[in-house]
Amino acid sequence: MIRLNLILGLIILGITGVSGQQIFSDSKYPLVDFRSPLAIVPPALAGSFGELRANHFHSGIDFRTNQRQGYPVYAIADGYISRLRVQNSGFGLALYINHPNGYTSVYGHLQRFSPKIAQQVKSIQYQKKSYEIDEFPTSLLIPVHKGEVIAYSGNTGSSGGPHLHFEIRDTRTEATINPQLFGIDIPDNIPPVIYSMYVYRLNKKPFNEFTPKQYFQVLGGSGNYRLNSVNTINLSGEVGFGIVTTDRHNGASGLNGVYSIELELDGGLVYVSSLEKFEFENSKGINSHIDYPTYLNTRRSIQKSFVDPGNPLKIYSNLVNNGRIEFTDGKLHQLKYTVTDSRGNKSTLAFQVQADNKATINSPETETGEVFSYATANEFSNPDVKVIFPKGTLYNDLNFIYKKLPKPATNAYSAIHQIHNKFTPLHTGFQLWIKADSTLGKYTDKAIIVNTGRVSQGGYFEDGYVKATPRSFGSFFIAVDTIPPSVNPVNVTNGKRLNGISKMTFKIRDNLSGIKSFNGYIDGRWVLMEFDTKTASLWHTFDNSTSPGKHILELIVSDMKDNNRNYSITFYK
Ligand SMILES: [Zn+2]
């Protein structure tokens, strides 16, 4: 039955997407199976599905929790806890529930789990001697019922304020799906806002930081927008368009993402993007979806309406020539953007283009290097450096530029190798090998690759090279990390009486390679230390196992290069 609904849904999706119709289908997903994960009325969103974030699309919706933690979080339907996850960053404390209808619900940044789940988590943490865990219990271990309190909302992990991060995934494929398509009612009657429109002179070339672009201010409101000061734009040759648009929700002041963007040329669609669902491995494709060079320069996200050939996202449909439009016929053309939010509120921007051969703007002449194809693996090497780009790293063909620059004055064991530049986004990491100077000597075990901002890219020494996998282009050299992490007590001092204090807190930091592990022992017995990356806080919450009297706490904090800090204090309970 579930399979039949899926097939029916696919057929329905197949016949929609025609201009003027609802581009998302209500009948594709179950609308009555799930309740809201919170009881806050009315529900409001601080973040929408597919919202544009740094290096990823937001994979769920963020429910507002009135700037507070501790709201009960409910199982949205019957099922079982299929994954228990505790992370220093990311989702922090998170729960996954598999439901019999084929979907998995995910709850992140939780403050704490319900007592029965918390007990399971703590016993796993003690068994594995690790704060971070990622467990996949069987269906028998923790069954849950619709409406059961499973946790309390919080701010753990890389959360920027109290809220509930909530996702619905396809259990089989793990693709994440827009939760607003499941009938979870979030009132919103405010249409998206369109701020500006851009024209890119593509001229049959790959898009990059040199592509000439023109800005057009947009005016209007309440769903109707127009260009300021011009009604007709004169263009020649092959161009692409882009817009800056966000959505606002009732009861929320923040700016959220839109659901879909459609571009029509003379009444026919040439580009549609819609955030119904996406695969996690494609989420970094956001840097191809937007004008990435402009984003790096201004933090403004222009959503391009033309698709790079190596863009793996499956959010596009109705593409004509990948959204690249030729204006060569000397005629007047009608263009129209329609932007829709997840509740179906729409805004439009219409304008005219006069195809005019005198309006050509050519791309500038640029430095030429080796041409790398987006469709294949690519390699570059010389006696000092080797770079390997797996297939699927690039979104466009690249004119690859390499330069060797002088070695920095301090903590450097190679020249600086400029590997292209940061304005070209990469979908995956690339292999970077840098030949080490003879001065590296006894520090080979401590060597890493850093960028010129001295941010560690990780790495290890092998066969005369330090090898790492940076995730973006930049300028890199070899440095060493010989300094162990620091440990600073927050609410304890040596010999202190801790009666009435529920937890001991410390700050731990590392100067370069980053913290790999931390372990705490009271009188030689391993105890759970909890850690929050964003505040650098490490703490132990006392339980019955620490009896009244004198105790010794020992902490061992290690960085990625195995520099260990041993710290101990005496305290009294
Ligand atoms: Zn979120």
Q: What is the mean pLDDT of residues 370-387?
A: 96
Considering 312, 334, 359, which residue would you say is the last residue of a domain?
Answer: 359
Please state the domain count of the chain: 5
Please state, for a pLDDT cut of 90, what percent of the chain lies above it: 87
Same domain, 12 and 111: no
pLDDT in tens, 502-521: 999 999 999 999 999 999 99
pLDDT in tens, 99-119: 999 999 999 999 999 999 999
Q: Which two tokens stand for residue 313?
A: 């996202």
Distance 335 CA to ligand 1 centre (A): 34
Asked whether residue 551 is domain-assigned, the answer is yes
Distance 472 CA to ligand 1 centre (A): 24
Contact at 8 Å (CB) between 543 and 551?
Answer: no
Distance 55 CA to ligand 1 centre (A): 14
Asked whether residue 187 is domain-assigned, the answer is no
Same domain, 491 and 507: yes
Distance 109 CA to ligand 1 centre (A): 8
Query: pLDDT at position 24, please?
Result: 57
Q: Which residues does 35 contact at the CB level (< 8 Å), separation at least 6?
A: 74, 76, 77, 146, 147, 184
Same domain, 138 and 4: no
pLDDT in tens, 50-77: 999 999 999 999 999 999 999 999 999 9
Q: What is the mean pLDDT of residues 190-209?
A: 96
pLDDT in tens, 404-451: 999 999 999 999 999 999 999 999 999 999 999 999 999 999 999 999
For residue 522, what is the domain's CATH number? 2.60.40.1220
Only one residue has tokens 């790495």, namely 459
Scored b (16 or more CB within 10 A) or e, 105-119 reads: bbbbbbbbbbeebee
For residue 63, what is the domain's CATH number? 2.70.70.10
Same domain, 200 and 342: yes
Please report, as a single letter, which amino acid is at residue 445. Answer: D
- 478's enclosing H/E stretch is strand 474-480
- 5's enclosing H/E stretch is helix 2-15
Same domain, 311 and 388: no
User: Does position 260 have pLDDT exceeding 90, yes or no?
Assistant: yes
Considering 480, 499, 521, which residue would you say is the last residue of a domain?
Answer: 480
Considering 359, 389, 411, which residue would you say is the last residue of a domain?
Answer: 359
Distance 309 CA to ligand 1 centre (A): 29
Same domain, 271 and 201: yes
Distance 44 CA to ligand 1 centre (A): 13
Query: What is the pLDDT of the chain when averaged over all its residues?
Result: 93
Same domain, 148 and 201: no
Distance 520 CA to ligand 1 centre (A): 31
Same domain, 53 and 141: yes
Same domain, 142 and 228: no
Structural domain of 524: 486-572
Distance 166 CA to ligand 1 centre (A): 7
pTM: 0.91
Query: pLDDT at position 4, please?
Result: 37
Residue count of the chain, please give it. Answer: 573
Asked whether residue 188 is domain-assigned, the answer is no
Query: pLDDT at position 180, please?
Result: 93
Query: pLDDT at position 500, please?
Result: 87
Asked whether residue 466 is domain-assigned, the answer is yes
Q: What is the mean pLDDT of residues 80-104?
A: 97
Asked whether residue 56 is domain-assigned, the answer is yes
Distance 560 CA to ligand 1 centre (A): 28
For residue 421, what is the domain's CATH number? 2.60.220.30
Same domain, 410 and 329: no
Asked whether residue 565 is domain-assigned, the answer is yes
User: Does position 17 have pLDDT exceeding 50, yes or no?
Assistant: no
Q: What is the mean pLDDT of residues 327-354?
A: 96
| Bridge partners, residue 264, by sequence | 269, 336
User: Does position 8 have pLDDT exceeding 60, yes or no?
Assistant: no
Q: Which two tokens stand for residue 548?
A: 């009244």
Distance 58 CA to ligand 1 centre (A): 6
Q: What is the mean pLDDT of residues 451-479?
A: 97
Asked whether residue 365 is domain-assigned, the answer is no
Asked whether residue 53 is domain-assigned, the answer is yes
Distance 65 CA to ligand 1 centre (A): 12
Same domain, 142 and 213: no
Same domain, 257 and 321: yes
